[in-house]
Amino acid sequence: MIEDADPEIDFQAYIQNMPFDVLLGLEKEIDRSRFPDRHQMVMDRIEKHRNNNTIQYSQSYLDNLRYPEGVRFIRSMNAFMLCAAIVGLVFKAANGSLRINTETVFGITSGLAFSSLVVYGLFREKSWVVVMVLLSSYFRILQAFIDYYTDQGAPMDRVIHSGVLMAFVLFYAFQIVVFSRKETRAFYKEKGTVLVHY
């Protein structure tokens, strides 16, 4: 099969059925000084697609295009914050600065479980994640304002703390805007619907 062609044996057969965006990426990766023939083959193939109007894109490229604006950024940020929270807890536990009691354990467990569920829903494109993102965003904004007004630390610490809280408020407000949009809700509703074909 052409898809299984070995580029070391028959490079032309190897690139024969490559989607247009993959060919563009390959053209940038090939060292023209070392592999001028291969580079020319890829360029010829790209030009042939353009001339014959047979441009086809890979599924991963199309998947990236189909996401509503802001969703991929929110998904990545939620995953990053979850990982950062877990790493932070591990360091606190290792340093012995984490006070272990029923209230702390419950707070940490429930917070991590909820965040993990949101990240799972975002990456697996579940329909219920829209409500969870909106509710968690409203709650986090409210919590940030409560933290701001109850902060009794030193003036410099309060300035730093306020800046961090403001960054989180802006991010959660952005989440509310993105997940309140019609196209975002429609995307997750469609992806979350399971269709069984007989």
User: How would you write the pLDDT of the chain (198 residues) with one tens digit per residue?
Assistant: 334 555 666 788 888 888 877 887 888 788 888 888 888 888 888 888 778 877 776 666 656 656 788 898 999 999 999 999 888 888 887 887 767 777 667 777 888 899 999 999 998 888 899 999 999 999 999 988 888 788 776 667 777 878 888 999 999 999 999 999 988 888 887 655 433 332
What is the C-alpha radius of gyration for the chain, rounded to an integer number of angstroms?
25
- Give the largest Cα separation in the chain, rounded: 70
Please tell me the predicted confidence (pLDDT) of residue 5.
55
CA distance 116 to 103: 20
Check residue 198 and give its pLDDT.
Answer: 25
Q: How far apart are CA 135 and CA 176, in angstroms?
A: 9
pLDDT at 1: 34
pLDDT given at position 61 = 61
Both tokens of 45, joined, read 């193939």
> Which pLDDT score is estimated for 195?
35
pTM of the entire predicted model: 0.60
Domain ranges of the chain: 2-59, 67-192
Both tokens assigned to 196: 């069984």
Give dist(CA 16, CA 106) in Å, integer.
57
Distance in angstroms (rounded) separating the CA atoms of residues 186 and 184: 5
What residue has token string 């569920």? 117
